[in-house]
Amino acid sequence: MISPTALKKLAAKHGTPLFVVDHSELRANYAMFKKYLPRVQAYYAVKANSDPAIVRTFYKAGASFDVASMPEFENVHENIKHLPAKARQDWIWDKIIYANPIKPIETLRELNQYKPLVTFDNFEEIKKIKKHAPQAGLVLRLKVANTGAMVELSSKFGASPGEAVDMILEADRQGLTVEGLSFHVGSQTTNFENYVQAINLSANIYQEARDRGYTKMNLLDIGGGFPAPYDASVKPFRELANVINRELDRLFPKGVQILAEPGRFFCATAATAVSKIVGKAVRDGKLCYYINDGVYHTFSGVIFDHCHYHLKAFKKGPTQICSVFGPTCDALDVVSMAENLPENLEIGDLLYSEQIGAYSHASSTYFNGFPPAVVIHVNE
């Protein structure tokens, strides 16, 4: 991570609020994933942080990409414009999965020219794909356990296992090709059993599909959910990788392609937010600091990602439990109601928050007229 001294220098040069991205950390996280899951091709979930510079770094490192909208698709597509047309088409098939199970008709029409790989999880989506993107390859997303995940996804997406093969056969009847299966165990999943159950369920559905005459599947997408090391309660990634490798090797032959969609794991630890104290008050006996960044900006994950980001001060001194508020006039703009910070901080002093690279700046708005933090890239 970037040192406090370096952060202070950047703040002095660029002002605040800042969102500082360390690309050496991005590359290290990608290398760790490949080291411990060598059989798995990583498709970076662009929604975690869609900054084009981050996309370029992962592209250069060898990553593929999980996109969920046409702007995300175009973001990735910008990085391959130098390739010849035929190579570009092959790259899209091998390097991009459109992993949003529900797609607008306009999106399907636009995607069709690329013969994309897309996910689906219901019968209505089969009809839409057949009519508007018949050149697509399909991946059926399954509903799996999300127990212990910080962000649960199974109530919104995923085909019931009991209907899965019926959907595969219906897509086949419509003249579409189902290339394989996918699942998502929920974001920031620390319950490794979710992966075990999901991989075993996928193997069972593979077998049922074969038993009922469908033999075209050759792909398994194990989704995202790989936990970022926010604190000591998160077990080392290698332990999760050992669990996944064991089940994959036991249940899926080497010829089956294995994909994954890491987002948070790749970028969470690679960014630090730097903000400035713009106000200070004591309310009901509690010290309150107001900073020039908040939940409508870099700290949006407090609301949208169920995440808590700890703040640190550059200045030392006796500490107490404080409240930290963002700069807007909305009472929702609460960064933390219980942050242990020095009591001697003054207006103009700086705070910083580490491990804030995922699902944070990507959701920034201009609410109340306050602009998002300036993004600074280091070690590109």
Catalytic annotation, residues: 329
- With a CB cutoff of 8 Å and minimum separation 6, the contacts of 43 are 63, 64, 65, 66, 95, 96, 97, 99, 221, 259, 260, 261, 262
Q: Omega into 229 within 30° of 0, i.e. cis?
A: no
Nearest by Cα to 341 from 359, 358, 329, 353 = 353
Which residues make Cβ contacts (< 8 Å) with residue 241, sequence separation at least 6?
A: 36, 37
Residue 333 to residues 56, 276, 298, 303, 351: CA-CA distances in angstroms? Answer: 32, 16, 11, 9, 17
d(CA 168, CA 170): 5
Is residue 218 within 8 A of residue 257, CB to CB? The reply is yes
Alpha carbon distance 262, 272 (integer Å) = 20
Rounded to a whole number of angstroms, the CA Rg of the chain reads 22
**Single-letter amino acid code for the residue at 144:** V
H or E element at residue 73: helix 70-77
Interatomic CA distance for residues 91 and 86, integer angstroms? 9
CB 156 within 8 A of CB 197: no
- Tokens coding 276: 């400035």
Quick check: 369 and 342 in contact, CB under 8 A?
no
